[in-house]
A and B are shown apart, each in its own frame.
Chain A
Amino acid sequence: MAFAAFSHGGGGKKSAAPVSKGNGKVALLLLLPGLLYLAVFFIAPLISLVATSLQTMDISSGFPVYSYGFQVSNYVDVVTQYGPQIFRSFFYALLATVAALIISYPLAYFIGVKARRWPLLQGLMLTLVIAPFFISFLLRTFAWKQIFSNESWIVGLLQQIGLLAPDQYLVGTPFMVIFGLTYNFIPFMTLPLYTTLERLDVRYLEAGADLYASPRKTFTKITLPLSMPGIVSGTLLTFIPIAGDYVNASGLFLGSTETSMLGNVVESKFLKSYEYPTASALSVILMGAILFLVTLYVRKSGTDDLL
């Protein structure tokens, strides 16, 4: 689990015995391939991205020419120009993450705790959770567009019972985008939750009941805190990619220009209008904001409090 490491932050107080000095060179040698990989495929592109984001534009020749500079105003420009999209990205990501958590937790609890007695059912349900990955995510998102298309019987029914006005449709609305985001990222929430809940010792729950805690109290005081590592990894694994997603919100899929997120702007700036500095500045902002929020979240959730 990629982010399980986060959830154990602060656990390093009493780390293992210090490695003896002679091992230093060997350790460095063993780390070398990984460090090289990171340098070539992460550090270098990152530097390039930041450099691009600070480029200046020269339009004197009739079409835009970019050259390296230190134009910090690029950032100010994108924030003022694309504020709504930036806000939308994180707002949608938050709603979709919460929705995914609410749907995934009971599911993961059932598979990981209740279904323990029936390993076959457990395996089957886990397979069903993973099964959608066998079909392209674009295809599945497009299928949802068809299911909720303006001519579909679902929309017709919703219009008839008055949940939608006669001229109201689903595709292109924020609801549809959040629905798509939630749907697409549910497995990333369910799997880490499952791995934590699967290890939950039900004897703690019995002890809770024995100590006068009602089932609800047992859940909030024991089950929930003990499954925190899964909740933290699950929410990180969904929130981060959702904040940068550009498929669900795109007009080609479930969204419209009204719902475009940061990812959509970056995509169009990079691939359509070739405004590289703008796209890069937006990317850096996205990255920085995610990094900030995640750090805050991991600190706040007090995960070093766990095991």
Chain B
Amino acid sequence: MATEFVARGADLELKGIRKEFPGFTAIENLDLHIPAGEFFALLGPSGCGKTTTLRLVAGLEQPTQGKILIGGKDVTNTKAHERPVNTVFQSYALFPHMSVLENVAFGLKQRKVEDPMTKAQASLDLVELGHLALRRPAQLSGGQQQRVALARALVNRPSLLLLDEPLGALDLKLRRQMQIELKAIQMEVGLTFLHVTHDQEEAMDMADTVAVMNKGRIEQMGSPEKLYDRPKTVFVSKFLGQSNLFVGKVEEENASSISINVAGNKITVPKDRAEKHKGKIAVGVRPEKAFFHEEKPKLGAGHNLIGPGEIIDIRFTGVSNQYLIEIPNVGNVTVFAQNIGKSPVTELGAKVWVSWKVEHAFGLSDLPTNTGDETITQSITVQ
């Protein structure tokens, strides 16, 4: 058997992967390198090709083109059972006719590892389910089944652990708890984790590196902080958190920044935070980095200011208030204001100006697709 009992993770490399299914292309051209020992998240909406990528790595699908290397070894043409990879399936796929312990010992027995039952028991203890070893999977709760699935994969000490939205079926509280446990286990065992998810919070919370995937391509890859602070495309700015986007032509340029004209409002973005410096571009800002003012403030060159507009919606979410401000000819802008003591403005219909620091703005490489009118630039806020 091609797999040895490795204690440390291996790196994963995908080279020019293309996967076609009858009628559509799931992955166009994917190049990816995940260093050993990293917690890597593949984030994207359903149908973006992330699960297909995972299945290709697991060996459950064959790529139409391209190569898959695990620990430098080409495994493209090896079968699933010959790859040093284990998967925690979205459905858990625990064998219903075996006890929890037998489930966990299954992989060890197939590889004829010595003393599989003791190792399986230890693995169950790791996920704090040792006392349920003799139960059937059907007798466990969803969260417990999830942990058994994790133990069943981890016990094999795979070079690479694949997680296919394993937390999707859990309720919020349990999900948070499992996220923390999963991250702790990854640090402890030092394996390479490839985590597929559509939950942006989960990806940002757990992963060292996040790759945002859309329509079979990776749109942007980087640390969660970097991705959030400086999205490069409309899709990333929308999918990872919320964004206010403004579209306009670049009309001013100096050594360090460029400014666009949005219906008479000047919006400036630092050059090193903008993907494009010429023509019509989209500039964005995160709602929590924007402020509103009841009177037109006097702000320095380091700020962008638009308005006046009218508050058309206020949502109370506990830690913050979310204001939706309609600015004529510009569109709707969302501003988050933290609920710390005094609340800024609470009534609907108030006339306000919106400002944010130039250094918080970011310029995108593409434009929102639903720009209806050429002259009216828009701002979109999407979850």
Residues of A that sit less than 8 Å from B by CB: 201, 203-204, 206-215, 217-218, 221-222, 225-226, 228, 305-307
Contacts and interface: CB of A to CB of B under 8 A. Distances in A.
Given A206-B60, A225-B97, A213 B87 contact: no
Contacts of B86: 210-211
Contact of B89 (A207, A214, A307): A207
A207 B110 contact: no
Contact of A214 (B81, B96, B106): B81
A215 B152 CA distance: 19
Nearest to B94: A207
Contacts of B89: 203, 206-207, 210
B110 A213 contact: yes
B330 to A, nearest CB: 50
A250 to B, nearest CB: 42
Nearest 10 pairs between A and B by C-beta? A211-B107, A207-B93, A209-B80, A212-B110, A203-B93, A225-B97, A210-B87, A209-B81, A213-B110, A212-B81
Interface of B: 1, 3, 58-60, 79-82, 85-87, 89, 91, 93-97, 106-107, 110-111, 138, 152, 156
A194 to B, nearest CB: 19
Given A217-B110, A225-B97, A209 B91 contact: no
Contacts of A307: 96-97, 138
Contacts of B107: 211-212
B276 to A, nearest CB: 44
Nearest to B2: A212
A206 B85 CA distance: 13
In this complex, the member of A204, A209, A305 whose beta carbon has the largest number of chain B beta carbons within 10 angstroms is A209
A210 B58 contact: yes
Contact of A201 (B60, B93, B156): B93
Contacts of A218: 81
A230 B3 CA distance: 35
B140 to A, nearest CB: 15
A194 B90 CA distance: 27
A264 to B, nearest CB: 41
Contacts of A203: 89, 91, 93
A222 B94 CA distance: 11
30 contacts: A201-B93, A203-B91, A204-B96, A206-B80, A206-B93, A207-B93, A207-B94, A207-B95, A208-B81, A209-B59, A209-B79, A209-B81, A210-B80, A210-B81, A210-B87, A211-B107, A211-B156, A212-B3, A212-B81, A212-B82, A212-B156, A214-B81, A218-B81, A222-B97, A228-B97, A305-B97, A306-B97, A307-B96, A307-B97, A307-B138
Nearest to B105: A211
Contact of B60 (A210, A217, A225, A226): A210
B166 to A, nearest CB: 13
A222 B95 CA distance: 8
Contacts of A217: 110
Nearest to A212: B110
Contacts of B91: 203
B85 A211 contact: no
Contact of B96 (A211, A212, A226): A226
A213 B106 contact: yes
Nearest to B87: A210
Contact of A210 (B85, B94, B138): B85
A226 B87 CA distance: 21
Contacts of B93: 201, 203-204, 206-207
Given A212-B1, A217-B110, 9 more contacts: A206-B60, A207-B89, A209-B59, A209-B81, A210-B87, A211-B152, A222-B95, A228-B97, A307-B96
A216 to B, nearest CB: 10
Contacts of A305: 97
Nearest to B113: A212
A135 to B, nearest CB: 39
Contact of B111 (A207, A209, A212): A212
B127 to A, nearest CB: 17
A306 B138 CA distance: 11
A204 B80 contact: no
A221 B97 CA distance: 10
Contacts of A306: 97
A205 to B, nearest CB: 9
A201 B93 CA distance: 9
B319 to A, nearest CB: 39
Contacts of A204: 93, 95-96
B322 to A, nearest CB: 40
A307 B94 CA distance: 12
Contacts of A221: 106
Contacts of B96: 204, 226, 307
A65 B96 CA distance: 61
A190 B107 CA distance: 32
A133 B319 CA distance: 71
A212 B152 CA distance: 12
A207 B94 CA distance: 8
A282 to B, nearest CB: 40
B111 to A, nearest CB: 5
Given A203-B93, A305-B97, A307-B97, A209 B60 contact: yes
A218 B106 CA distance: 11
A307 B97 CA distance: 6
Contacts of A209: 59-60, 79-81
Nearest to A217: B110
A231 to B, nearest CB: 13
Nearest to A203: B93
A257 to B, nearest CB: 47
